[in-house]
Amino acid sequence: MKIASVHTRVVRAPYRRPFVISSGTSPELISLVVEVRTADGESGFGEASPMTAYTGETLAGLEAALTEHAAPALIGRDPRDLAGAHTAMDAAIRGQHLAKAALDIALHDLAARAAGWPVHLLLGGCVRPRVPTTWVVGLGTVEEMVEEATAYAAKGFTHIKVKGGEDPDLDVGLVRSVRESVPDSVELSLDANEGYDPGTAARTVARLADAGLDLVEQPLPRWDLTGMAALRGGGGVRVMADESMQSPHDALEIVRRGAADVLNIKILKVGGLHRARQVAAVAESAGLAVKIGTMPELGVASLAAAHLAAALPHATVPADLVGPLLVDAEPLAPGAFAGVVDTGWVEVPGGPGLGHEL
């Protein structure tokens, strides 16, 4: 079995409402879908979605890195040699995690199909046959955000994440209002996307804890691990690293510095499922929980995230599998995500590969 060719296609899906975080706004979810074909006609599919305001990567840059550098390094290789594929891609081009992640997901899909296995068996097994997903509330007015959070908690979502980071006072009021409106059993997190000032973050996080917050995600700039460690040491809420955590090396440094209680592992951000498992091993060795995050992306990459969340015992913070739920019509794996918006749970596919419908 040898890789013969790689093909790409751009897929666009409008958001039901623009997805807004503190670093920018996206009116539509744009993904590059990748198909890796073998000489004997087998295929595997991957996906990467460049949210430029978050990663700094553009669609054109992603496609160029993939088609001109990373993909040619895989031609003629056995698609089941996942570690070797990353060695080859890293030798061909430095960085470019999204391009490598799209190809990595496709290789996992292809290798699992060839074995007749679901992808989670390549990742270690299945400790949970269905995965809870967080509902992510993008920025809006406090009234809009509280209404949305309340509605999805009532549907059965066990974890609600609200976006923040623009105005600490508004964030505190938002958290208090959401906490008063959802059941006590619903875990509540706020993602500041690096938005808080290092000089006032400790006071803000203490106020958020008093308002009923359970988890604060990336309150400080990605480089400020000293500040993140100080916030964690203050207690009150758990601290999760996201933008600070983009590689296994970052994970190790976060552990060394005591800068987080939870690591947010985004498959695209770290370079694919192979690298994500390495990050997860660092977290597990340090006794940290993980959350499987989202950029967000559509059905293929979201299914990869679901398989990873199913395979990791310490993926105890509900995953962010909301990309397919935030768009008007999920184009890549509609069956896998049908009904999830009404329950908050994703059934992990048990057939060969990822379980998409391409």
Q: Which of 266, 297, 320, 330 is catalytic?
A: 266
Q: Which of 47, 109, 148, 163 is catalytic?
A: 163
Cα–Cα distance for residue pair 301/318, rounded to 1 Å: 17
Q: Looking up tokens 């993980």, which residue turns up?
A: 290
Give the separation between CA 99 and CA 171, rounded to whole angstroms.
Answer: 35
Distance CA 78, CA 81 (A): 6
Query: d(Cα 164, Cα 267) in Å, to the nearest integer?
Result: 23
**Angle subtended by helix axes 97-115 and 273-286, to nearest 10:** 100
Q: Which two tokens stand for residue 107?
A: 């290789």
Whether 163 is catalytic: yes
From the candidates 148, 187, 217, 330, which is the catalytic residue? 217
Residue 309: closest CA among 134, 61, 85: 134
SS3 20: strand
In angstroms, the CA 340 to CA 132 distance is 9
| Sequential DSSP letters for 87-152 | HHHHHH-SS-HHHHHHHHHHHHHHHHHHHT-BHHHHTT--S-SEEEBPEEE-S--HHHHHHHHHHH
Is 242 marked active-site?
yes
Q: Which of 224, 242, 243, 320 is catalytic?
A: 242
Q: Are strands 130-132 and 135-137 parallel, antiparallel or unpaired?
A: unpaired
Name the one residue in this structure whose structure tokens are 């498992």: 277
How many Å from the N-terminal Cα to the C-terminal Cα in the chain? 21
Q: What does 326-347 look like in DSSP terms, one character per residue?
A: HBSS--S-HHHHTTGGGTSEEE
Cα 246 from Cα 194, distance rounded (Å) = 14
Calculate the alpha carbon distances from 164 to 181, 216, 353 in Å. Answer: 18, 10, 36
Q: Is 349 exposed, middle or buried (0-12, 13-18, 19+ CB in 10 A)?
A: buried
User: What residues act catalytically?
Assistant: 163, 191, 217, 242, 266
